[in-house]
Structure 1
């Protein structure tokens, strides 16, 4: 139960609903007990009436006695019906309080977890899969809700009904109470073990279904590759094998489920037989009336569900505790990217990097090794290097997605750690290498970084990114809905929309992280030409493995294995005849047409 203590703050928050639920549970259980007492009184009345009925017939009063007898029976029937209706009404109120409380807690928990996810650093997402993150905010929260809703509701029912019924049964006949309740502990223990079996097999089914769904999703997503390599039959065979495994596990669960109700009915039947036998012996001895037997049989049936639910509730609590442990692991994860002073100054764009070293905390890879450079406000820096040289790491550190292992980054002469993180990022336009577009309109994707979207600004950003004509050629123009991850657009169009999104923010610092890799040379030149006036008077960082993208920069550094091996402008680097010049020559030759 210890992991679930964390939920007490929610129970306190909705204590009004919880207390009302407890009150309604007690009232509801009173209307469960009263009908059993009415049945006892009614049966004893009927038995006594029949005893007196024959002498009254002989005395000529039979018809009058019969009418009175029927009137009393009708009264008892109406009272029992009223009790049942009242109990149903209070059961409705219980669900309107406790179950609604659990739904509100579920809502609060999901919002808390999602908000916490948003605040966690990039390193957290490198260590955890998207599927795991989604499972904790959906499946695990749902299991915890089952504890806060049904488990508490049935648990309260058990805790209030059991003492009320047992104490009353003992007050009527202690010996008969003992005998009639003998099978109930066995029932609870049996249900507990059966429930564990059901849960265990249900988990296996869920895992099997998850695997089956993942396979189907991949098959449909990669249908072009499947058809191109003529692997349809293999795909169908694997699907059949996965389906067979799912079917087998489902049948195993069905076999266990088949034990559930027969087990309950058998033990309830045994309890009823014991009650009738022991009660019958006491009736023969004249110790109790016939009505007591009927009353105790009703009590046994009343207690059957709470006792049965004990095993089920225990199982729910176990699963909820396991899920809460998983949720707590993520909620306890701390964001180490925090501001020292929460400065919210407007930045000019001076960047100074001194002796910067960075080692990725999850992999231990040294991405940068004592690098230093400076960019004056309004200047452009080009960072050139091959794959794995540390180019994108520089972008992540400038965006403060990570903090450096050693060294420092100064913006406008102030340590980057002094700035408010959100305010710093708000003034930086970032175009990532791996473009991500949302399943929304093109206009909303471009306006993603704007608090107050302006159509003229959106269209101008599209023109600057050389994607305006492509957009207006679509039937719905800027209102065109993009598919998942922007699948509606080509690779080059996606990158240009991503550039437009960064430009629309009108940032003080613009970082282009190898964002022109999916466009051809002609489009690249068009975008760079458009970006010339955009980058004017704005600090810009162009990261690329293509020299053509960086040659316009005021200053260029060449990275290799996390170290700066060359620096200068395009002309000075070409005159050095080093790595930069070699890359330029290779890429220039590769772009020239081959005769033949």
Structure 2
């Protein structure tokens, strides 16, 4: 029952729908009391020879009219009640998606995709079912049960009613015990379903890798194990479910036995008429639904409560980066980075130390260094995926901690190391950040990213569907499409996180030349393992072990001993050895 208290905020807001449903249910309960009463009247009339055929037909007509009214009213309250429940589903999913879209990488380190999908789909469905069907069964069982009890006690016999209800307390205790156990078991079953979702999502996402390594049988065995575990835990839930109906039917059976036995004795001693006993048995039959509904309500509400607890656990998780609330002024600004030290959460060892940079509008900053040097961490701080505890990053003289994250990220366009494309057309993938962009603007961005000609060779050109994650495109094409998408935003700061690794040297040179022309007055930050991408940078910084060990222009760094010169020479030699014979001959000439 705790779920109803947890959802009280929604019930208060939609009180008209829920109050209207309750009012109609009360009317329906009253109408359902009429047929048993009329049956008793007809039976007594026939046995005592007081009922004429015309009177019997009239009572039957009243019963038929009552059935039609009940049908119509049930239709109306279902529209009201389940309409409110479906609105709750929309709101919960919207809030859940809003939370996911505003969370940062740290959140996704703690939560797996399959688990989040399970909470947004299966768990929400359980909560909505409880908010609709659960409320229905609760109100219907209470209203109907109390109405029948009052009529049985007042109009027929309170002694017989009390005798018939003797098994009810035992039933209530058993249902309460089973409901508590169901809550825990269903929570475990939902966690197992999340694991099954995770396994499915990872297997489908990595299907190419699985096939490449010939791991189909191994992955199938793993999936079977996870599926079997989920099945076993759901079976434990089913065993609890199976206890509810027998409990109810045994209780109803004992109640009927006591009612018939006690009622027969009362008829024999002229304490009841046969018609009254017939009405009483029919009323007792109406009690079957409230008792079944009560057990069912405990079942679905406990499931909904366990599911809502999982949803609330996610919704209540506050973003690690707080909204400073400040607004940036229009126009460009200087980006200043002063990071004394930065460590990831729960990681004592600092990832960055003494990083000090100043980047004016229109400048190009190159960042390089060996794997694990801290390049991606620095870019994460610039995008404000994490806040700096020791140090500060400023733009236009304002600390990013005092600026709204949405305001700041609106000034950035980022192309990551692993480009992501949606299962949509090429044009809509490029126009992701500017859905209102014209075809001319889209083609211009594609031309700057050196992918326009590739697109024209696709079956439907810009209207070609790229498949899930751009499966029909090469790595270089996906990278260039991502660059075009970022260029279309015309943001003040463009960040390329090793975004040219899958393109050849000539294409890389052309893209960088185009970026210099496009980026006049805009700031460009490039990280790269292939140092040829940094040749034209105004300043290059070399990171090693989270610290800047070298900085300067390309030619300056080539004259210094250190990692940059060694790596550049190595890459030049590697490029020469891997060049085509014709190119080597041309180079020799």
In the superposition, the TM-score normalised over structure 1's length comes to: 0.89
Contact 1:127–1:362 under 8 Å retained in 2? no
Per the alignment, residue 478 of structure 2 pairs with 494
Q: Provide the rounded CA distance (Å) in 1 between the counterparts of 2:433 and 2:157.
A: 75
Per the alignment, residue 587 of structure 2 pairs with none
Q: CA deviation at 1:16?
A: 0.8
Contact 1:4–1:324 under 8 Å retained in 2? no
Matched, 1:129 2:94: no
| Aligned-partner SS, 1:366 | coil
Q: Provide the rounded CA distance (Å) in 2 between the counterparts of 1:402 and 1:28.
A: 58
Say which of 421, 428, 434 aligns to 1:444.
428
Q: 1:220 to 1:22 in 2, by over 3 A?
A: closer
Per the alignment, residue 380 of structure 2 pairs with 396
Contact 2:118–2:197 under 8 Å retained in 1? no
Per the alignment, residue 162 of structure 1 pairs with 145
Contact 1:430–1:502 under 8 Å retained in 2? yes
Q: Provide the rounded CA distance (Å) in 2 between the counterparts of 1:303 and 1:113.
A: 40
Matched, 1:386 2:367: no
Q: 1:21 to 1:121 in 2, by over 3 A?
A: same
Q: CA deviation at 1:14?
A: 1.0
Per the alignment, residue 162 of structure 2 pairs with 178
Per the alignment, residue 321 of structure 1 pairs with 305
Q: Provide the rounded CA distance (Å) in 2 between the counterparts of 1:407 and 1:208.
A: 43
Q: CA deviation at 1:17?
A: 0.7
Q: Provide the rounded CA distance (Å) in 2 between the counterparts of 1:237 and 1:422.
A: 45
Q: 1:229 to 1:530 in 2, by over 3 A?
A: same
**RMSD of aligned Cα (Å):** 2.9
Listed one character per residue, the Cα deviations across residues 6-41 of structure 1 (whole Å, up to 9, x for unaligned) are: 422221221111111111011000011111111111
Q: 1:551 to 1:356 in 2, by over 3 A?
A: farther
Q: 1:298 to 1:364 in 2, by over 3 A?
A: farther
Q: Provide the rounded CA distance (Å) in 1 between the counterparts of 2:319 and 2:224.
A: 45
Q: CA deviation at 1:130?
A: 2.0
Matched, 1:571 2:555: yes
Matched, 1:550 2:534: yes
| Aligned-partner SS, 2:287 | helix
Contact 1:195–1:312 under 8 Å retained in 2? no
Q: CA deviation at 1:160?
A: 1.7
Say which of 61, 64, 76 aligns to 1:81.
64
Q: 1:198 to 1:418 in 2, by over 3 A?
A: closer
Q: CA deviation at 1:125?
A: 2.7
Q: 1:325 to 1:483 in 2, by over 3 A?
A: same
Q: CA deviation at 1:515?
A: 0.9
Q: Provide the rounded CA distance (Å) in 2 between the counterparts of 1:6 and 1:317.
A: 11
Alignment of 1:289-308 (within 5 A): 289-308=273-292
Unaligned runs of 5+ in 2: 582-589
Listed one character per residue, the Cα deviations across residues 322-371 of structure 1 (whole Å, up to 9, x for unaligned) are: 33222222332223534545223224242221244221125445221121
Contact 1:25–1:94 under 8 Å retained in 2? yes
Matched, 1:282 2:282: no
Contact 2:420–2:469 under 8 Å retained in 1? yes
| Aligned-partner SS, 1:494 | helix
Q: CA deviation at 1:129?
A: 1.9
Matched, 1:470 2:463: no
| Aligned-partner SS, 1:593 | helix
Per the alignment, residue 479 of structure 1 pairs with 463
Listed one character per residue, the Cα deviations across residues 501-535 of structure 1 (whole Å, up to 9, x for unaligned) are: 11111121111111112223333223223323123
Contact 2:123–2:311 under 8 Å retained in 1? yes
Per the alignment, residue 47 of structure 2 pairs with 47
Q: CA deviation at 1:575?
A: 0.6
Q: Provide the rounded CA distance (Å) in 2 between the counterparts of 1:138 and 1:303.
A: 35
Per the alignment, residue 38 of structure 1 pairs with 38
Larger radius of gyration: 1
Unaligned runs of 5+ in 1: 53-67
Say which of 345, 350, 353 aligns to 2:337.
353
Matched, 1:15 2:15: yes
Contact 2:180–2:302 under 8 Å retained in 1? no
Q: Provide the rounded CA distance (Å) in 1 between the counterparts of 2:304 and 2:190.
A: 16
Q: CA deviation at 1:537?
A: 2.9
| Aligned-partner SS, 1:542 | strand
Matched, 1:138 2:118: no
Q: CA deviation at 1:410?
A: 2.1
Q: Provide the rounded CA distance (Å) in 2 between the counterparts of 1:255 and 1:394.
A: 53
Q: Provide the rounded CA distance (Å) in 2 between the counterparts of 1:328 and 1:254.
A: 25
